């Protein structure tokens, strides 16, 4: 995003031009990050602490001349630093978030963003004009069903699951400690994917009994490596089904993390109604979503990120990001008359609704 600061001697017209070019070139910054991850640049450097251009080019099977350009761009973006001897080292950002195997690693998220979302964003204008997702043109799967396109092959399903799992290594603790969840013993994470958030909940609340509910294909993958280690009993249960049709397990607390934003209001109301029925009188609901600022809110720091996430939903799903008031209305419609929200550190808010 363009720097808001005025530069010395910059005229308003010069600033306009600079800002416009920074916006227009934003996709190049994304591609530097994605390509460096895909080539394994940060992993090669991590293996030896520092490495020169020749060694990195050899290890990644790349052109030395173009590798130098990529590495220098990574330096400018704060992902690498260059030493007095001309060798490159990972910065804290890269060591923590981009080196494979680091506990907070987001590498699969970068690889996923480089594929399906990047290609869908290439069709943004058409998505806006037609008011629907663009999977046919973007990834060659002619469907408006988000998960038919995202899960178009076994490797793509696995990549999506690994990408989403990585978020919770950074944000899981924030969203699960926003409220004290210890009163809820039986918990069901509906659309829980690989189970990363559910496992974090089981770790934070040792008395809980947690089930991950997702499609049968996702559940089968979630019970195998790399999500589970052979011979080690998972700390959560897994159940496969269709949350719009199958019977949902009874629970004291249902979690819906990054699920409602995929769907229309009508589909959300249907899903919330089914959860309300399955849980009975005393049940509660924990929603984890990026919140849109309230209608008419003056432009603030979170407004653009929320709008971009909502446009991402437009190019990829049938849903959108919503305001706190919209989530409150949706949950109230399903019989959850109480509602509280906590904005956590990071991009997500946690909302607790109860009857």
Ligand X SMILES: C[S@@+](CC[C@H](N)C(=O)[O-])C[C@H]1O[C@@H](n2cnc3c(N)ncnc32)[C@H](O)[C@@H]1O
Length of the chain, please? 355
Q: Is 338 a catalytic residue?
A: no
Residue showing the smallest CB distance to ligand X in the complex: 191
Residue 213 is inside which H or E element, if any?
strand 209-214
Q: What is the nearest approach in angstroms of ligand X to the Cβ of residue 151?
A: 7
Among 102, 123, 208, 215, binds ligand X (CB under 6 A): 215
Q: In the range 193-212, which residues lie near ligand X by CB under 6 A?
A: 193, 197
* Residue (40 or 193) nearer to ligand X, CB: 193
Q: In the bound complex, what is the minimum distance in angstroms from residue 215's beta carbon to ligand X?
A: 5
- What x/- string results for residues 218 through 257 when contact with ligand X is judged by CB under 6 A? x-----------------------xxx------------x
Residue in 66, 174, 237, 261 annotated catalytic:
261
According to CB under 6 A, which one of 258, 318, 343, 355 is a site residue for ligand X? 258
- Choosing from 214, 321, 324, 326, the residue that interacts with ligand X (CB under 6 A) is 214
> By rule CB under 6 A, what string of x and - marks binding of each residue 112-151 to ligand X?
-----------------------------------x----
Compute and round to an integer the Cα radius of gyration of the chain: 22
SS3 content of the chain, % helix, strand, coil (to 5): 50, 15, 35
Instruction: Give the SS3 label for residue 122.
Output: coil
Sign of CA dihedral 283, 349, 114, 170: negative
- Within 153-312, strands assigned E span 186-190, 209-214, 237-240, 253-257, 284-289, 291-292
Tell me the pairing of strands 186-190 and 209-214: parallel
Residue among 105, 210, 259, 291 that touches ligand X (CB under 6 A): 259
What are all long-range contacts of 300-304, with beta carbons under 8 Å and residues at least 24 apart? 304/1
CA–CA gap between residue 157 and residue 153 (Å, rounded): 6
SS3 state at 82? strand
What residues make contact with ligand X under the rule CB under 6 A? Answer: 147, 164, 191-193, 197, 214-215, 218, 242-244, 257-259, 262
Give catalytic residues, as residue numbers. Answer: 261
């Amino acid at each position: 995003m363009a720097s808001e600061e005025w530069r010395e001697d910059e005229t308003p017209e010069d600033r306009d031009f600079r800002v416009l070019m920074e916006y227009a070139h934003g996709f190049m910054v994304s591609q530097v990050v994605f390509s460096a991850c895909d080539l394994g640049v940060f992993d090669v450097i991590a293996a030896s602490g520092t490495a020169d251009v020749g060694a990195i080019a050899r290890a990644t099977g790349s052109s030395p001349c173009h590798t130098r350009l990529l590495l220098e761009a990574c330096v400018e973006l704060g992902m690498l630093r260059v030493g007095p001897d001309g060798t490159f080292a990972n910065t804290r950002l890269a060591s923590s978030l981009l080196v494979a195997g680091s506990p907070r690693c987001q590498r699969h998220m970068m690889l996923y963003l480089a594929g399906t979302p990047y290609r869908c964003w290439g069709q943004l204008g058409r998505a806006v004009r037609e008011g629907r997702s663009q999977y046919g043109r973007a990834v060659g799967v002619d469907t408006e069903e988000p998960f038919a396109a995202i899960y178009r092959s076994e490797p793509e399903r696995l990549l999506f699951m690994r990408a989403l799992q990585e978020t919770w290594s950074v944000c899981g603790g924030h969203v699960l400690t926003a409220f004290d969840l210890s009163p809820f013993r039986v918990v069901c994470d509906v659309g829980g994917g690989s189970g990363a958030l559910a496992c974090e909940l089981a770790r934070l609340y040792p008395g809980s009994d947690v089930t991950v509910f997702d499609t049968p294909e996702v559940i089968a993958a979630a019970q195998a490596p790399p999500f589970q280690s052979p011979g080690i009993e998972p700390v959560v249960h897994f159940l496969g089904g269709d949350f719009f049709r199958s019977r949902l397990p009874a629970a004291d607390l249902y979690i819906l993390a990054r699920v409602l934003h995929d769907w229309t209001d009508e589909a959300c109301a249907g899903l919330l109604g089914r959860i309300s029925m399955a849980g009975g009188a005393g049940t509660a609901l924990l929603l984890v979503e990026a919140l849109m600022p309230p209608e008419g809110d003056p432009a603030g720091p979170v407004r653009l990120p929320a709008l971009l996430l909502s446009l991402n939903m437009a190019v990829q799903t049938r849903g959108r990001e919503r305001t706190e008031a919209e989530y409150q209305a949706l949950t109230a419609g399903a019989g959850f008359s109480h509602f509280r929200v906590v904005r956590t550190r990071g991009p997500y808010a946690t909302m607790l609704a109860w009857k």
